[in-house]
C-alpha cells in the first residue's frame, strides 16, 4: 500500500499506510524497534549505505523501522513524496528551513503563528544568521512586498494557532511560485484530514505530531512532509539541494534523488548533524493515534461548532474566533481550504479583560489548563500570560492572543458537559 494508490480512502490509509506484518514474527501492529544500530550484511553493504547508493538502516539517529513506517504514513496522508520525522514540532520547523537557509537569508512568515514559533523565528534563528519578516497574510500585497532577493521561503499555518484563522493557501502559494521559493505550511491544527496543503500549492508541510496526530498527550514529535514538486535546481538559491555536496563526494541531491531530494537531505544531513531524532516508542504512539484520526477530528469539529455557537451568544463573551461560525471573516475559506470542518481550536475574548480570563481558567473543572492542544481532552490556556508571554503587546494582538483572550482546544467529550463547565466558569469569572 503506497501513497500513489488511488483506490484507498483516508480512513483506510490512516490505519494501513506504512504498516506491514513484521517479516520476522508476523506481528500485525508495527513493532517498536528499540535498537541503536543495525548489522550490515558485509563491508560492501555498509559502504553502499554510507554513500547513499542503497536505502537501509545504519543507526537510529538517521533511520529506524518504526519511524520509517510513520514517515510513510504521513507522506501518504498528506499526498507527499516523502517525510522526515523528528523530535518535536519546533524541531520540524528548523529541519524544514535548514537545507534552504544560510547566513544573511530570510523567510517571510505570517504574523498569525503559535507564540513559540514567533519567538523561534524572531529570536532564535538569528543565531544562525537567518531572519524573518512577519506580515499579515490577509494582505497579499504586503506578503509580496516583503519578499526580496534573500528570501528563501514563505511560512504560515493552515489553521492558525491560537485564533483558528484559516489562511488562503492558494493565494500565498501563487506568490511563492512567482518568487521561485517554497511555501512551508504548518498543518498541525488542521491535520491532513481537514486540510491537504500540498493540493493548494505548498512545497513542504510541517506538523507538531504531539497534537492531533497522536491525540492523547503522551509524546512529542514532529515531521516535515515534502511534496516532491519543487524544482530545487531552477535557480542557484538552494545550493544544499542543487550543488555538489562535499560530505558525499560531490553528490547532487536534486539531480540524484529527484522528488525525494529534500527527504534524503533531511535524513542524510539534517538528522545526521542536527540529531533531532524521533524515538521509536514515540513513533509507535503516534502511529496508533493516527489510526483514529478521522473519527476524532469529526468529533472535534462537531463539538467545536456547537460550543463556539453557544459561547458567541453568552453575555460574558465579547467574541469568538472560530472559522466555523457564519460570523467569522474566515468562514468563506472553510469550504475550499478545510472542507471537512474548521478544526477544534479557537479563542474567546471575555468582556472582563485579563483578570476575568485568569478567573475563568482557574474555575474550569473538565477543561485542563495546559500548554498543549489537540488532545482528546478539552484544554484551555491564557496565551498572553503563558505561550505568548514573551511577545510584545503588538505581537500578541497580531497573533490573536491579546490579554482578554483565552485559547480553547475542544476535545471529544460530551458537548453538554463541556458547555456546563464553561457556563459555571464564566459566571465565576464575571463576579
Residue 5: inside a domain: no
Residues 300, 274: one domain?
no
Q: What is the CATH number of the domain that holds 356?
A: 3.90.1150.10
Encode pLDDT of 89-103 as tens digits. 999 999 999 999 999
Helices in 342-392 by DSSP H: which ranges? 353-363
Residues 28, 97: one domain?
yes
C-alpha distance across the termini of the chain, in Å: 58
* pTM confidence score: 0.95
Last residue of a domain, one of 289, 320, 343: 289
Residue 327: inside a domain: yes
Whether residue 53 has pLDDT greater than 90 = yes
Cell of 214: 497522536
Residue 395: inside a domain: yes
Give the separation between CA 154 and CA 150, rounded to whole angstroms.
12
Give the separation between CA 156 and CA 133, rounded to whole angstroms.
12
Q: According to the model, what pLDDT value does residue 6 have?
A: 58
Encode pLDDT of 354-387 as tens digits. 899 999 999 999 999 999 999 999 999 998 887 7
Cell of 110: 505570517
Mean pLDDT value across the chain: 95
Residues 325, 339: one domain?
yes
Q: According to the model, what pLDDT value does residue 180 have?
A: 98
Look at the chain and report how many structural domains it folds into: 2
Residue 1: inside a domain: no
What is each CA distance from 264 to 59, 85, 236, 256, in whole angstroms? 15, 12, 19, 10
Q: What is the CATH number of the domain that holds 156?
A: 3.40.640.10
From 267-281, 282-296, 302-316, 384-398, the region with the lowest mean pLDDT = 384-398
Mean pLDDT value across residues 25-29: 93
Q: According to the model, what pLDDT value does residue 383 have?
A: 82
Residues 57, 157: one domain?
yes
**Who's near 9: CB < 8 A, 6+ residues apart?**
none
Residues 284, 398: one domain?
no
Whether residue 401 has pLDDT greater than 90 = no
User: 265 lies in which domain range?
Assistant: 10-289
Encode pLDDT of 113-152 as tens digits. 998 899 999 999 999 999 999 999 999 999 999 999 999 9
For β-strands 317-320 and 222-226, DSSP reports them as unpaired
Whether residue 1 has pLDDT greater than 70 = no
Residue 147 contacts residue 179 (beta carbons within 8 Å): yes
Residues 305, 327: one domain?
yes
Sign of CA dihedral 362, 368, 369, 373: negative
Residue 240: inside a domain: yes
Residue 60 contacts residue 68 (beta carbons within 8 Å): no
Residues 321, 272: one domain?
no
Residue 133: inside a domain: yes
pLDDT band at residue 15 using 50, 70 and 90 as cut-offs: very high
Residue 356: inside a domain: yes
Residues 322, 226: one domain?
no
Residues 160, 263: one domain?
yes
Grid cell 503522551 — which residue? 218
Last residue of a domain, one of 273, 289, 305: 289
Could you write out the three-class secondary structure of 351-415?
Answer: CCHHHHHHHHHHHCCCCEECCCCCCCCCEEECHHHCCCCCCCHHHHHHCCCCCCEEEEECCCCCH
Residues 260, 312: one domain?
no
- Tell me if residue 196 falls in helix, strand or coil: coil
Encode pLDDT of 65-84 as tens digits. 999 999 999 999 999 999 99
pLDDT band at residue 5 using 50, 70 and 90 as cut-offs: low
Give the separation between CA 176 and CA 275, rounded to whole angstroms.
30
Residues 194, 323: one domain?
no
Residues 193, 316: one domain?
no
Last residue of a domain, one of 289, 307, 326: 289
Mean pLDDT value across residues 43-48: 95
pLDDT band at residue 11 using 50, 70 and 90 as cut-offs: very high
Residue 337: inside a domain: yes
For β-strands 183-186 and 405-409, DSSP reports them as unpaired
Amino acid at each position: 500500500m503506497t501513497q500513489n494508490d488511488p483506490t484507498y480512502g483516508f480512513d483506510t490509509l490512516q490505519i494501513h499506510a506504512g504498516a506491514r506484518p513484521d517479516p520476522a514474527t508476523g506481528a500485525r501492529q508495527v513493532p517498536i524497534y528499540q535498537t541503536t544500530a543495525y548489522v550490515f550484511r558485509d563491508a560492501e553493504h555498509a559502504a553502499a549505505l554510507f554513500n547513499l547508493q542503497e536505502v537501509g538502516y545504519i543507526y537510529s539517529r538517521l533511520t529506524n523501522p518504526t519511524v520509517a513506517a510513520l514517515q510513510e504514513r504521513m507522506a501518504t496522508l498528506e499526498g507527499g513524496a516523502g517525510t522526515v520525522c523528528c523530535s518535536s514540532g519546533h524541531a520540524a520547523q528548523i529541519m524544514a528551513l535548514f537545507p534552504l537557509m544560510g547566513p544573511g537569508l530570510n523567510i517571510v512568515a505570517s504574523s498569525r503563528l503559535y507564540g513559540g514559533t514567533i519567538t523561534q523565528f524572531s529570536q532564535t534563528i538569528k543565531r544562525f544568521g537567518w531572519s524573518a519578516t512577519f506580515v499579515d497574510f490577509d494582505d497579499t500585497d504586503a506578503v509580496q512586498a516583503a519578499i526580496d532577493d534573500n528570501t528563501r521561503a514563505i511560512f504560515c499555518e493552515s489553521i492558525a494557532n491560537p485564533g483558528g484563522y484559516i489562511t488562503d493557501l492558494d493565494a500565498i502559494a501563487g506568490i511563492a511560485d512567482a518568487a521561485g521559493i517554497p511555501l512551508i505550511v504548518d498543518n498541525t491544527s488542521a491535520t491532513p484530514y481537514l486540510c491537504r496543503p500540498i493540493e493548494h500549492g505548498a512545497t513542504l508541510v510541517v506538523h507538531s505530531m504531539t497534537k492531533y496526530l497522536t491525540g492523547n498527550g503522551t509524546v512529542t514529535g514532529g515531521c516535515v512532509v515534502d511534496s516532491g514538486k519543487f524544482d530545487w535546481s531552477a535557480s542557484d538559491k538552494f545550493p544544499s539541494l542543487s550543488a555538489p555536496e562535499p560530505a558525499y563526494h560531490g553528490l547532487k541531491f536534486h539531480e540524484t534523488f529527484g522528488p525525494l531530494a529534500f527527504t534524503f537531505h533531511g535524513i542524510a544531513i539534517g538528522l545526521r548533524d542536527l540529531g533531532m531524532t524521533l524515538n521509536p516508542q514515540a513513533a509507535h504512539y503516534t502511529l496508533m493515534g493516527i489510526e483514529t484520526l478521522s473519527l476524532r477530528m469529526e468529533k472535534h469539529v462537531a463539538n467545536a461548532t456547537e460550543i463556539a455557537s453557544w459561547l458567541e451568544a453568552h453575555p460574558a463573551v465579547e467574541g469568538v474566533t472560530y472559522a466555523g461560525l457564519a460570523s467569522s471573516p474566515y468562514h468563506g475559506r472553510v469550504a475550499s481550504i478545510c472542507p471537512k470542518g474548521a478544526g477544534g481550536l479557537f479563542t474567546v475574548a471575555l468582556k472582563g479583560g485579563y483578570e476575568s480570563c485568569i478567573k475563568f481558567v482557574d474555575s474550569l473543572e473538565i477543561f485542563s489548563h495546559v500548554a498543549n492542544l489537540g488532545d482528546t481532552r478539552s484544554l484551555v490556556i491564557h496565551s498572553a500570560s503563558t505561550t505568548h508571554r514573551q511577545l510584545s503587546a503588538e505581537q500578541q494582538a497580531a497573533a490573536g492572543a491579546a490579554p482578554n483572550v483565552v485559547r480553547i482546544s475542544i476535545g471529544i467529550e460530551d458537548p453538554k458537559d463541556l458547555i456546563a463547565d464553561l457556563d459555571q466558569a464564566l459566571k465565576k469569572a464575571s463576579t
